[in-house]
Structures are given as C-alpha cells and as structure tokens.
Structure 1
Amino acid sequence: MKRPLTIRLCGPRGFCAGVDRAIQIVVLALKKYGAPVYVRHEIVHNRYVVEGLQAKGAVFVEEIDEIPPEHHAQPVVFSAHGVPKSVPADAKARNLFYLDATCPLVSKVHKQAMRHQRQGRHVLLIGHEGHPEVIGTMGQLPDGAVTLVETAEDASRLVVDTPDTLGFVTQTTLSVEDTAGIIEALRIRFPNIQAPAAESICYATTNRQDAVKEAAPGSDLFLVVGAPNSSNSKRLVEVAERAGAKRSILVQRASEILWDDIGDIAILGLSAGASAPEIIVDEIIDAFKERYDVTVELAITAEETENFPVNRDLRDVELTASDMAFVNGNV
C-alpha cells in the first residue's frame, strides 16, 4: 500500500515572460529564416529547452566567431541574460544579422546602470561573479565604471575613489532577502548612495520566492526544478530552507531524484525556476504518484499576466499550436 504524500505545488513557477519571449524568438527565427539559427550562449539556463531547440535546428555557440563564414547570412540570437555592448558591435563588424532576446527587465537594469553613469556616479552592481547577466550588465559601461558586490561582507569592506557619488543596481534573479541585507550594508557604509529609479530584482523572481515561502514551512522535502547554473533556481532552494523546509534540493529531471535518500516524507514542496518547463514539473509529480498516494495542494501567491512582445522582424510569423506548446514548456 502506498504511503500518503501531500505535494504543495507553488504558483507562480516555471517559465516567466522573459524566458517565454526568448524561446519564442528562436522558434520564430527558425520558422522564418530556416535552420541553422545560431544562439550565443544558452538561450535560457535549461538543458531540456536547449536540446529541444537543437532538435529544431538551433546551433548554440559561446562566441559569435564560432559561426562559419558560409552561415553569416543566418540569424544569431543573443540570450535572455543580455550581452555586453561589445557583442552586437562585433556582430555588426562581421555583417551578421542578429536578434536580441535579452529580457526587457534585464535591459531595464542596463538602462539604470547607464543612467547612474550619466549622472556622474560610479556604479555598484549587486550580483554573482561570472553569471552571464552580470557580464552583460558590466559590459554596458566602460571598464572600471562598475564594481561588483556579491555579499554584505563585500559591501562593508568596499573601498571606492568616489564614496559620495555612487549608485547601485542588482542582478534580476537574486534572493530578495540577501539583496536587502547587501543594500543595507552599502547604505551604512555609503550614506549618499543612490538607488535605481525602479526595483531591479524582477517580478518573476520575487513571485517565485514568495510562493516558495508559502509552501516551505513544515515541508519534509522541497524540490526545485532547475539547472545548476540557473541563479533564480538556486535562490529558490535557499529560500525554501530559510522558510522552514527540512531539506531542499535542486533537480533537473525526475531521473535525478535519489529515491533511497528521500526518507520518510509526508509533505513535499515543489516549485520550478523561471527557465524550467512545466512538462518536467508534471514528470516529477507523476514519478511521485508511482510511489506514493499523492494529494496535490496549490500554494498560489500571485497571478502573472505579463507578456513581452518579440522583435519586430519576427512579428509577421505565426506559431502553430504545437509551437506554442513547446514555447510554453508543455512538450
């Protein structure tokens, strides 16, 4: 007889509007221009999505100089995380046709950083070193114009040449609570520091963290569907543990679940990072249903209706029902 298990399923979860838009751009480009369509870096941080696009004819490269000369007429798509200004400049120099899939909320952070600089401020970027979004944001300004701050400890010992003319921005996918602590430390050290004109952490990050906080208390185990290089997914794991889950784990597929290590659980929390497709959430629920008598409870804290339009060059292309199912992460 199967043991009872309650799954607290978070909402919102999974794809956000920026991820949905980025995947749409690649699919639309393939339909309009044919394969191959090149994509610089993973379009979003999820292998299932990347492999699905590869099967449709997308070719992923780390740098645009990997695109063979005979394919320079084919489009190259820049990922949702954004790119330094040097990348589109290089594409133009090579006469490449490019489509920018940078999330509009990441582009907003770029504009916030540039606004600080125009107003004579040195920019402090709160984020994780090496993340593509951080590389892209720092690359909007000249070398030396941005200083990266990763922790509250970094903030408390930071030394800058112009302590009275500073502005900060943040990576869009950070922990809301961690970021608040870093900002507080910066304000203590630099009382005149200027905030961006609007919140930098995106609505989708905040919404997913709020839902996890709702579902985590009392959970014996919390699973977050996401890739190990996905910043927003890793933050959800941390948020779940802080909010009261006894244990929290990041998994990419049901096949990664170590069933012998799960132990005796009665309540499972389940969410998905902003680049994780819904089909994998369904796959994991089905895997638990094979082993437990499952009851699913919804932990919904917000409804998301945001929709970001794709590039003008692609708006004359229609997606089929099967295309939309793929874009929405349902196949």
Structure 2
Amino acid sequence: MEQKIVNVFLASPRGFCAGVDRAVEIVKKTINKFGSPVYVRHEIVHNKFVVENLRSQGAIFIDELSEIKNKSRPVIFSAHGVPKKVIDEAKLNNIIYIDATCPLVTKVHREAEALAKEEFNIIFIGHRNHPEVIGTMGQIDEKFISLVENKKDVENYSPKINNNKFAYITQTTLSLDDTLEIISVLKKKYPSIKEPIKSDICYATTNRQEAVKKIAKKCDLFLIIGSRSSSNSQRLVEVAKKFGCKESILMHSDQKLPIEKIKNSNNIGVTSGASAPEILVENLIKEIKSIINIRVEEVITSVEKVSFKLPTMLIK
C-alpha cells in the first residue's frame, strides 16, 4: 500500500528578527572583546537553546546586578530592555554595561518619556510581568503610566492625573488583532486619545503573525517553535488557532513531538518565534521526516531586510 505524503507548510518569515540577531551578536562580540565571563541580566532572548549556547561560550546569566561577583566584568542588558534604575545601579557600581535592548523597544521607551514630559495619562497595553513591560514602565514615574492587558482592564481603568490628556503605547510583541480590539475600546472611552505615529508592534511580530494567518486554515496541525516565556511565540499559537487551526502546539524545549497527531494529519504548518534559531526548525523537519513522508513547501508572505547597528564600543 502506498504511504501517504503529508504537506508541511513552512511559514516565512519565521525565526530570528533583527533585534534578536543584534542581541546575540552583542553577547558574542562582548566575549570576544573582554574575554569570559561576561554577565547578562536576564535571558538575552527567550530561548533555552540560544541561552545554553551563549553560556557555553562564557556568558553568565543573572537576575540582578547584585549577583555580579566581579564588578570589573561587563554586563549586558537583554533585548527586552531594563528600567532606568538598573542603568543607574550599574553606573553607581562602576560596572561596564552594554545595552542590547531592541531599538524598537527603545522607541517605545522614548515615546513614554515624551508623553510623561507632557503629563499625559499613558495607557500601556501589554502583559504583566513580561521583562519588556517592566523595562518600559520603569522609564518614567509610575504616576504617568498604567498597564492594561485586555478590554475589561480598559473598562475598569481610571486615570491617575486629572487633566483629560490620554495616550496609549503598546508592548512590541502583542497579537495585532487582540491589540486592535483593545485600542478600539480605548478610542470609544477616550475619543481624543493620542496614538503612536507608527504602530509599536514590531515589524517581525506582525510579519510572523501574517505568515501564520496565511496557512493556518489549511492545516490540521500547527507546530510553533518557541519558548513558553516568549510572548511573540505564544501569540503565534493563538493566531494559528484563531485563524483556522485549532490543533496548534508550542514546541518548547520540554514539549515532546506529537507523533500520533502528525501521523493523523494531511497538512502541517511549521513556524518559529522571533527568538528561535533556524536550526531548531531544521531539526523539527528531520524528526517529522523520520515518522512520515513529507512534501515541504515554504510559504513566503514578506521578505525582511531590516538590520540594526551594533553599539559603537563593540565596532571599534
């Protein structure tokens, strides 16, 4: 009996974005320049494979600067950004620091600062306790900024400053569609609310979600490679489910391959979050190939040509 061939639709763009590329390169170049060890505050990006690889090259990952045993060693701040008090602490202790914050996150930081200067009530759409949210809220006095996670939070929101000036900003890795729903409720409540000139949701988050939307409806199973702590990867799972593939699974480091589901599928979608390296996609395809006959088709919805400059101190 002839064995069936299963279609594997490979979403493109997928995987590393320019901000992640830059952050990983910053760690490698810092090790090259200063020798090991170098400290990294928090996971440089949300991916276990990437973190372990950098650890093997001489990076030591810490949660707080107080854990740095040798203050003469440099510390790198993760791509998610840090509150201003962390930078102040590094300066106070004369610690050399290299900021690997994604430039698109830095853009949101500057927006928050500018709005606070004009004394706006800033409504920040994001996920509580995510490092990017902690970093952004830590740029300004807390009296200017409030976090909302959903439409209900908007309904329950009351301003901290009584001046009728409202503005919103967003975390860069949110679901485009969910955020638009929250924004529409905000605009209904505050018709004159000031919005960012250009969307805060990053190009890579948007592109990866659009690529998933394109193929989700024809897939019986969608496998998304990414970490449980990766906001943009979690959003890809939600988008795949919302746009037609109910059986969407986050393939994090502890997730076993769903062999029976793969065998029972005719069409499988595959993508990876912005902090997942391409080798993990290649390994997943190999694993699927060892179970069934497959035909791989890459579905390209856009081509990314963005790159970000490295900090000057690492170029010299």
Settle same-fold status: TM greater than 0.5: yes
Partner of 1:183: 183
Taking the aligned partners of 1:254 and 1:297, their CA distance within structure 2 comes to: 27
Q: State the Cα RMSD in Å.
A: 1.3
Q: Which moved more, 1:138-147 or 1:39-48?
A: 138-147
1:96 corresponds to 2:95: yes
- 1:92-145 deviations in Å (ceiling 9; x for gaps): 001100000000000000011111112220111000000000000000001222
- 1:170-207 deviations in Å (ceiling 9; x for gaps): 00000000000000001111112110222100000000
Partner of 2:105: 106
Give 1:271-282 correspondences, 5 Å limit: 271-282=271-282
Structure 2: 5+ residue stretches without partners: none
Taking the aligned partners of 1:275 and 1:116, their CA distance within structure 2 comes to: 30
Aligned residues: 314
SS at 2:294 equivalent:
strand
| Cα pair 2:217 2:243 within 8 Å, conserved | yes
Taking the aligned partners of 2:92 and 2:237, their CA distance within structure 1 comes to: 42
Structure 1: 5+ residue stretches without partners: 317-331
| Cα pair 2:39 2:73 within 8 Å, conserved | yes
Taking the aligned partners of 1:162 and 1:171, their CA distance within structure 2 comes to: 25
SS at 1:238 equivalent:
helix
Partner of 2:205: 205
| Cα pair 2:221 2:261 within 8 Å, conserved | no
Shift of 1:147: 0.1
Partner of 1:152: 151
Partner of 1:284: 284
Partner of 2:49: 48
Taking the aligned partners of 2:241 and 2:154, their CA distance within structure 1 comes to: 25
Partner of 1:118: 117
| Cα pair 2:124 2:146 within 8 Å, conserved | yes
SS at 2:269 equivalent:
strand
Give 1:1-331 correspondences, 5 Å limit: 2-68=3-69, 71-160=70-159, 161-162=161-162, 164-253=164-253, 256-262=256-262, 264-316=264-316
Structure-2 change in CA distance of 1:8 and 1:163 (3 Å): farther
Taking the aligned partners of 1:178 and 1:237, their CA distance within structure 2 comes to: 13
Taking the aligned partners of 1:163 and 1:248, their CA distance within structure 2 comes to: 45
Q: Which moved more, 1:197-206 or 1:52-61?
A: 197-206
Aligned AA (2:17): C
Taking the aligned partners of 1:126 and 1:163, their CA distance within structure 2 comes to: 21
Taking the aligned partners of 1:163 and 1:220, their CA distance within structure 2 comes to: 52
Identity of aligned residues (%): 46
Shift of 1:255: 6.4
| Cα pair 1:253 1:280 within 8 Å, conserved | no
- 1:299-328 deviations in Å (ceiling 9; x for gaps): 111100101011111113xxxxxxxxxxxx
| Cα pair 1:163 1:190 within 8 Å, conserved | no
Shift of 1:218: 1.9
| Cα pair 1:27 1:53 within 8 Å, conserved | yes
Shift of 1:252: 2.3
Shift of 1:215: 1.2
SS at 1:194 equivalent:
coil
Shift of 1:2: 4.3
Aligned AA (1:112): E
Structure-2 change in CA distance of 1:3 and 1:254 (3 Å): farther
Shift of 1:262: 4.4
| Cα pair 2:79 2:101 within 8 Å, conserved | yes
Taking the aligned partners of 2:153 and 2:263, their CA distance within structure 1 comes to: 39
Taking the aligned partners of 1:255 and 1:128, their CA distance within structure 2 comes to: 23
Taking the aligned partners of 1:94 and 1:257, their CA distance within structure 2 comes to: 47
Q: Which moved more, 1:9-18 or 1:191-200?
A: 191-200
Taking the aligned partners of 1:252 and 1:2, their CA distance within structure 2 comes to: 30
Structure-2 change in CA distance of 1:163 and 1:280 (3 Å): farther
SS at 2:72 equivalent:
coil
Which stretches of structure 1, 4 residues or more, deviate above 6 A after TM superposition? none
SS at 2:66 equivalent:
helix
